[in-house]
Amino acid sequence: MLKFENVSKIYSGNHYAVQNLSFEVEKGEFIVFIGPSGCGKTTTMKMINRLIDPTEGVISIDDKDSNLQDTVQLRRDIGYVIQQIGLFPHMTIQENVTLVPRLLKWSKEKRKERAKELLKLVDMGEEYLTRYPNELSGGQQQRIGVLRALAADPPLILMDEPFGALDPITRDTLQGEFKDLQQRLGKTIVFVTHDMDEALKLADRMLILKDGKLVQIGTPDEILTEPANEFVEEFIGKERLIQMRANVETVEHMMNKHPVTIHESASLSVAIQVMREKRVDSLLVTDSEGYLKGYVDIEMIESNRNNNKTIADIHLTKIHTVHKKARLRDSISRILKLGASYVPVVDDDMRLLGILTRATLVDVVYDSIWGHEDPGKEDQIAATVEESVL
Amino acid sequence: MFEVLSDVIQYYMQNFSYISQEFFRHFLMAAYGVLFAAIVAIPLGITIARFGRLSNWGIQLANIIQTIPHLAMLSIFMIAMGLGANTVVVALFFYSILPIVKNTYTGIVNVDQVLLDSGKAMGMTKGQLLRMVEIPLALSVIMAGLRNALVIAIGIVAIGAFFGAGGLGDIIIRGTNVTDGTAIILAGAIPTALMAIITDLIMGTLEKLLHPVKSVKDDKENVDHAAPA
């Protein structure tokens, strides 16, 4: 649908407003450009409808190089919504909404029909058609601003912080309404904002910019889970990262990396000794390569004590495991549901990597209340708690 | 005092058709001058608004013209064009250029950049932007310039009587030339003043009507009612 290839914008001298940007947007995708002010996000957006011409590189829409198209025609095929709304004060709502159709020379009846249809999309009555923009509230005005962009049914809509100037409640409502509308109509949206909450709420994919350069592109989940660098982490905000942690963090990050294990060839008496030393009531059984074979607990050893067996002979192979990439949130709810006191964490080949215990749950709760503190200290606490739980 | 007033009334009754003829002549001269000036000055104002660099010396030049005393300006044109209404109309043309250019320039320059950007982004050509956005939004300011120019012009036309242009100034001059001409002077001066005041009022109303930010007052209640939706 929309493709940037090595696009740069250079202002007088050597100042790069946007540097060597390449990415692609799928049809129907909601992509959010985000970054601190002056990062080039608005410049990037304005290059799409050529309000700003790129210095280098190619921007193509539906595989057509936009530089080779007539700018006026190009802009009529792309919706545009801005923060300041920009409704024309001397035109009625109907005239405002159907301005692009008018430029495209639609008939008067068709335009009026279209205006009514559009107002219905945002649940505004026909009586608004004859009003002037200054008679509407800010939220209503921006709804009209959005409708104006939709009027000629363009496949692509550009939005420059459209909800930035609205009060929080109206903003929230409009974001919801708009996301809904976008999904219903299947429009491709390019949305510029500096508000991380808004981006996380609306975006299918986010593109993080800094000093005109692409820092990271990905879904909100991907960005929250694996921020590309410190800048992204900072930009997302520690608070938000911690809040989202339980939702998107993988098991790998929170697991205890030193589960108490025992080799399958060890004898039962050794097992009991290990249990006593580590003060636990069950052991994970592994082979020489570290593959998880099962577990033994104190009851099983008790019932087999008199026989001279090794662990390989008695351990239960049936054990619930979680993959290292599994979501922490899901895994915790699994532990709670199964009533298990722990779940071993494995990789693709069933190699034992760590263990998730109820103590981990405590860690998550602790983190979200007091924040992430000195990891060494925390490990210690976790270890202590773990022992008492097991 | 009372005597003078009754003399004026008597003058009007005796010379009604003459006075109304001069009245219209007077007004037409002023209107023509302003009209011709508008034809030149409005496009000029738009042009200098487009090319920022021109604006300074363009308005400077018009300012200089404006500082030339009326009598001097009219005399200069009289030397070139002889006596008659045309001389006055040409002088008015030059006097009217400044207020019209200045207001057109101001009106166009003050159109919100946001609106221009959003018009451009919606795919308006330069011409459409001018026709559909800039001129409608600047119209009331341009109108204020015309109003200003017309009121000044009405005053200048009165002086034009010295250069054989006719108009209500003729009556005033006649009054100054006769002994005890107070009534005649007033008979010329009162309609001149009235013309200026009425023109100002009418143009002021027009200016308000053309103000771009409109609102339908009677619907106010409805709007408030519908706002939470």
Nearest to A80 among B118, B133, B213 (CB): B118
Q: In the structure, what pLDDT confidence band is assigned to residue B59 with cuts at 50, 70 and 90? A: confident
Of A16-20, A203-207, A294-298, the least confident: A294-298
**B204 in contact with A at a CB cutoff of 8 Å?**
no
Give the percent of chain A with pLDDT over 70: 90
A347: which residues sit within 8 A by CB, 6+ positions away?
A: A323, A324, A353
| A2-236 has CATH 3.40.140.10 classification | no
Size of interface A-B (CB pairs under 8 A): 79
Pinpoint the alpha helices (H) of chain B: 2-14, 16-50, 52-67, 70-81, 85-109, 113-121, 126-129, 135-160, 168-177, 182-209, 220-226
CB B59 within 8 A of CB B145: no
CATH fold, domain A252-367, is CBS-domain (3.10.580)
Closest CA to A190 of A385, A379, A2: A2
Determine the pLDDT at residue A317: 63
Mean pLDDT of chain B: 87
* CA-based nearest residue in chain B for residue A101: B122
| pLDDT for the residue A368 | 67
Closest chain A residue by Cα to residue B220: A135
* Structure confidence at residue B53 as a pLDDT band (50, 70, 90): confident
The predicted-structure confidence for A90-121, as pLDDT tens digits, reads as follows 999 999 999 999 999 999 999 999 999 999 88
Residue of B nearest to A160 (CA): B118
| Strand order, beta sheet including A56-61 | A15-25, A2-11, A56-61, A64-65
CB-CB under 8 Å, B121 with A75: yes
Q: Which pLDDT value is given to residue A299?
A: 79
Res A315: pLDDT: 65
Give first-to-last CA distance, chain A, whole Å: 55
Considering only the top CATH level, what class is B2-226?
mainly alpha
CA distance A356 to chain B (A): 50
pLDDT at B225: 40
Q: Check if the beta carbon of residue A252 is closer than 8 Å to that of residue A325.
A: yes
Residues A65, A58: Cα–Cα separation, whole Å: 7
A272-299 pLDDT per residue, tens: 888 888 888 888 888 888 888 888 888 7
Q: How far is CA A278 from CA A221, A255, A273, B31, in A?
A: 38, 18, 9, 106
- What pLDDT score was predicted for residue B223? 40
| Residue B174 structure tokens | 């006649």
| A134: chain B residues, CB-CB within 8 Å | 213-215
- Contact check, Cβ <8 Å, B226/A127: yes
pLDDT > 90? residue B36: yes
Mean pLDDT of B8-16: 89
Cβ contacts of B137 on chain A, cutoff 8 Å: 88-90
**Three-class secondary structure of residue B229 per DSSP:** coil
Q: Minimal CA–CA distance to A356: which of A364, A79, B113, A348?
A: A364
Mutation site, A43, A51, A85, A99, interface B, largest B CB count within 10 A: A99
Could you tell me if B113 lies within 8 Å of chain A, comparing CB atoms?
A: no
Give the pLDDT band (50/70/90) at residue A29: very high
DSSP-derived letter for residue B130 is I
CA-based nearest distance B138→chain A, Å: 11
Residue of A nearest to B211 (CA): A90
- Section A70-87 average pLDDT: 91
Query: Which residue on chain A is closest to B139 by alpha carbon?
Result: A90
Q: CB-CB: which of A80, A88, A123 is closest to B229?
A: A123
Looking at the partner chain, which of A123, A134, A148 has a beta carbon nearest the beta carbon of B215? A134
Say yes or no to pLDDT of B25 above 80: yes
Does the distance separating the beta carbons of A103 and B128 come in below 8 Å? Answer: yes
Determine which of A45, A47, A88 to mutate to test the interface with B (most B C-beta atoms within 10 Å). A88
* Residue A383 forms contact with B (CB below 8 Å): no
- Answer whether B117 sits within 8 Å of A86, measured CB to CB: yes
Boundaries of every domain in chain B: 2-226
- Of B134, B5, A2, the C-alpha closest to A21 is A2
Question: Is pLDDT at A205 greater than 80 in this prediction?
Answer: yes
Question: Mind telling me how many Å the CA of A170 is from chain B's nearest CA?
Answer: 10
User: Which pair of structure tokens corresponds to residue A388?
Assistant: 């008492």
Q: Minimal Cα–Cα distance from B213 to chain A, Å?
A: 5
The residue that leads in pLDDT, B212 or A139, is A139
Closest CA–CA distance from residue A197 to any residue of chain B (Å): 25
Min Cα–Cα distance to chain A from B124, Å: 6
Closest partner CB to B122 (pick from A89, A103, A128): A103
The radius of gyration of chain B's CA atoms, rounded to the nearest angstrom, is: 22
Is the per-residue pLDDT at B51 higher than 80?
yes
What tokens does A202 get?
A: 């609306």
**Interface pTM (ipTM) of the complex?**
0.77
Q: Is the pLDDT of residue A382 over 60?
A: no
From the list A80, A123, A135, which residue is nearest B121 (CB)? Answer: A80
Average pLDDT estimate for B114-140: 92
Distance CA B75, CA B91 (A): 10
pTM, entire model: 0.71
Query: Given B123, B125, B212, which is nearest A90 (Cβ)?
Result: B212
Domain boundaries, chain A: 2-236, 252-367
Confidence of residue A78 (pLDDT cuts 50, 70, 90): very high
Nearest C-alpha in A relative to B137: A90
Q: Which residues contact B156 (CB under 8 A, 6 or more apart)?
A: B30, B70, B74, B88, B91, B92, B95
pLDDT exceeds cutoff 90 at B201: yes
Instruction: Please report residues of B whose CB lies closer than 8 A to that of A82.
Output: 114, 117-118, 121
Residue A255 — pLDDT band, cuts 50, 70, 90?
A: confident
